[in-house]
Amino acid sequence: MPLSGRRTLTRYLIEERRRFPAASGDFNALILDVALACKAIARIVALGTLAEANGHGSRGAGTNADAAPCPPPGGRINVQGEVQKPLDVVANEIFVRMNEWNGHLAGLASEEMDEPRQIPTRYPRGKYLLAFDPLDGSGNIDVNVAVGSIFSILRAPDEVIDSGRDRQRDVCEADFLQPGAAQVAAGYAIYGPSTMLVLSVGNGVAGFTLDPQLGEFVLSHPGIQVPRETQEFAINTSNSRFWEPPVKRYVDECLAGKTGARGKDFNMRWIASMVAEAHRILMRGGVFLYPRDTKDPARPGRLRLLYEANPVGYLMEQAGGRASTGRQPILGVKPSALHQRIGVVFGSAAEVQRIERYHHEPVPSEAPAPLFAPRSLFRD
């Protein structure tokens, strides 16, 4: 198809902006800078371990990319209590450097940073907040499984916007603690056989594929919709001994197949990369569960609310799917901490609603021992 017939990300955003004649264009510019960061990260991820062995950083990737560092030796423990991989650090730095200078943000928050990042005083402040996971699934890079970047855009409180330095305050953790329903945009980039950007600006979900010849994201998947019904689920069954009864009930029914309560066979998937799991579901349906369990009572969930659950939940809801904790909609949860973790269920709406129903129904009592069951030696 000739270039004139392709809808690039820039063109798509301009067309969306026309729905709001009073818009300043800052929002579009911010998303384009996020997309540029994703392009830079895609180049590094494509090198795999060569990026570390050869000392490749993000040089030449675009505006401010020259300042991004080469991968460090790594090994630092982040605020999540996890060992940072060198590419985690580089991807985080790319996101910061690509977005802190543009005048569209009041602050940034990342899975890899202990506290919110302030906009340097030499740059103007904007009216948005950016929360992101710079490299989701980075533990899979050494086995060449798809990884990605996840981002969420929120509005900043008026008092932190650049309306005169003498009247503003620094951004703080509380500014980011907004429910997912308050997001004005969310998306992810997935770095697989092709690089894709999947985005919602509040008017459905669109997917863009990076054309390496043009260096542009081109609209390839307009109007993405999650099928309401599915026969595919994803969960880490190694944690089954820690599951709550509603989750165990749901999975057992799926595994029982045609002979069980569901009357149909299910396929099970597990990639251990949330971006890859979400992308599969957006493309062909399914349900993903990383539920609350009893493995660690001090940590009722594994996934981060602000950087993972909220943006992916926003995409699912915009695509006609559903996202939940199992007990309530994800987008209605009021965050209590910057790095809060939460149980997550998302995907095809009918399956998520079933799982929610199981959580609200009384837990069935334990079955009687076979000897004393109605059909036993002691029956009348």
Three-state SS sequence of 222-247: CCCCCCCCCCEEECCHHHHHHECHHH
**Torsion (CA) 192, 194, 195, 196 in degrees, nearest 10:** -100
With cut-offs at 50, 70 and 90, classify the pLDDT of residue 71: very low
Distance CA 100, CA 118 (A): 8
Judged against a pLDDT cut of 50, whether residue 66 lies above it is answered with no
* Helix runs in 158-301, H state only: 173-176, 245-256, 274-284
What one-character-per-residue DSSP string does 47-104 give? HTTHHHHTT--STTSSTTGGGSPPP-----B-TTS-BPPHHHHHHHHHHHHHHSSSS-
Does residue 30 sit in the same domain as residue 117? yes
Which one has a higher pLDDT value, 182 or 158?
A: 182
The pTM of the full predicted model, rounded to 2 decimals, is: 0.88
* Residues sharing a CB contact under 8 Å with residue 352, sequence separation 6 or more, in sequence order: 287, 321, 322, 323, 324, 345, 346
Task: Examine residue 380 and state whether it is found in any structural domain, yes or no.
Answer: no
Task: Examine residue 367 and state whether it is found in any structural domain, yes or no.
Answer: no
* CA 91 to chain centroid: 15
| The domain boundary residue, chosen from 156, 187, 221 | 221
Task: Examine residue 371 and state whether it is found in any structural domain, yes or no.
Answer: no
**Tokens standing for residue 98:** 């690509």
What value does the mean pLDDT take over residues 54-67? 43
**Tokens standing for residue 215:** 């260096």
Task: Examine residue 33 and state whether it is found in any structural domain, yes or no.
Answer: yes
Does residue 213 sit in the same domain as residue 243? no
Whole-number pLDDT of residue 229: 93
Does residue 156 sit in the same domain as residue 251? no
- Please say whether the beta carbons of 67 and 100 come within 8 A: no
Q: What is the mean pLDDT of the chain?
A: 88
In one-letter notation, the amino acid at residue 318 is Q
What value does the mean pLDDT take over residues 39-54? 82
* CA 295 to chain centroid: 23
Distance CA 340, CA 203 (A): 28
DSSP state of 306: I
Judged against a pLDDT cut of 70, whether residue 374 lies above it is answered with no
| The domain boundary residue, chosen from 168, 202, 221 | 221
Whole-number pLDDT of residue 64: 41
Q: What is the CATH number of the domain that holds 341?
A: 3.40.190.80
Judged against a pLDDT cut of 80, whether residue 69 lies above it is answered with no
Which one has a higher pLDDT value, 73 or 293?
A: 293
Does residue 128 sit in the same domain as residue 23? yes
Task: Examine residue 375 and state whether it is found in any structural domain, yes or no.
Answer: no
Judged against a pLDDT cut of 60, whether residue 291 lies above it is answered with yes
With cut-offs at 50, 70 and 90, classify the pLDDT of residue 59: very low
Q: What is the CATH number of the domain that holds 200?
A: 3.30.540.10
Is the dihedral angle over the CA atoms 46, 48, 54, 58 positive or is it negative?
Answer: positive
The residue range of the domain holding 152 is 3-221
How many structural domains are present in the chain?
2
Whole-number pLDDT of residue 72: 45
Element (H, E) at 170: none
Whole-number pLDDT of residue 366: 57
Does residue 66 sit in the same domain as residue 203? yes
Does residue 64 sit in the same domain as residue 211? yes
36: left (phi over 0), alpha (psi -120 to 50) or beta: alpha
The Cβ of residue 107 has, within 10 Å, a number of other Cβ atoms equal to 25
Judged against a pLDDT cut of 60, whether residue 194 lies above it is answered with yes
* Range scoring the smallest mean pLDDT among 26-30, 136-140, 163-167, 323-327: 163-167
Burial letters 173-182, b for 16+ CB under 10 A, else e: eebbbbbbee
User: The tokens 């599951």 sit on which residue?
Assistant: 243
* Range scoring the smallest mean pLDDT among 49-53, 131-135, 222-226, 258-262: 49-53
What value does the mean pLDDT take over residues 105-109? 97
Find the helix packing angle between 245-256 and 349-360, rounded to 10°. 130
With cut-offs at 50, 70 and 90, classify the pLDDT of residue 375: low
Whole-number pLDDT of residue 141: 81
Whole-number pLDDT of residue 19: 85
Angle at 358 between CA 250 and CA 205, to 5 degrees: 80
In degrees and rounded to multiples of 5, residue 316 shows phi and psi of: -60, -45
What value does the mean pLDDT take over residues 132-146? 89
Does residue 44 sit in the same domain as residue 156? yes
Task: Examine residue 369 and state whether it is found in any structural domain, yes or no.
Answer: no
Does residue 131 sit in the same domain as residue 268? no
What value does the mean pLDDT take over residues 359-369? 71
Does residue 207 sit in the same domain as residue 339? no
Does residue 238 sit in the same domain as residue 287? yes
Task: Examine residue 304 and state whether it is found in any structural domain, yes or no.
Answer: yes
Which one has a higher pLDDT value, 332 or 18?
A: 332
- Please say whether the beta carbons of 324 and 346 come within 8 A: yes
Does residue 209 sit in the same domain as residue 291? no
Does residue 148 sit in the same domain as residue 11? yes
Whole-number pLDDT of residue 68: 39
Between the ranges 65-74, 164-173, 259-268, where is the mean pLDDT highest?
A: 259-268
Tell me whether strands 195-200 and 206-211 are parallel, antiparallel or unpaired. Answer: antiparallel
List pLDDT tens digits, range 228-269.
Answer: 999 999 999 999 999 999 999 999 999 999 999 999 999 999
CA-nearest of 328, 325, 136 to 244 is: 325
Whole-number pLDDT of residue 57: 47
Whole-number pLDDT of residue 62: 38
What one-character-per-residue DSSP string does 331-342 give? GG----STT-EE
Distance CA 6, CA 364 (A): 55
| The domain boundary residue, chosen from 221, 243, 258 | 221
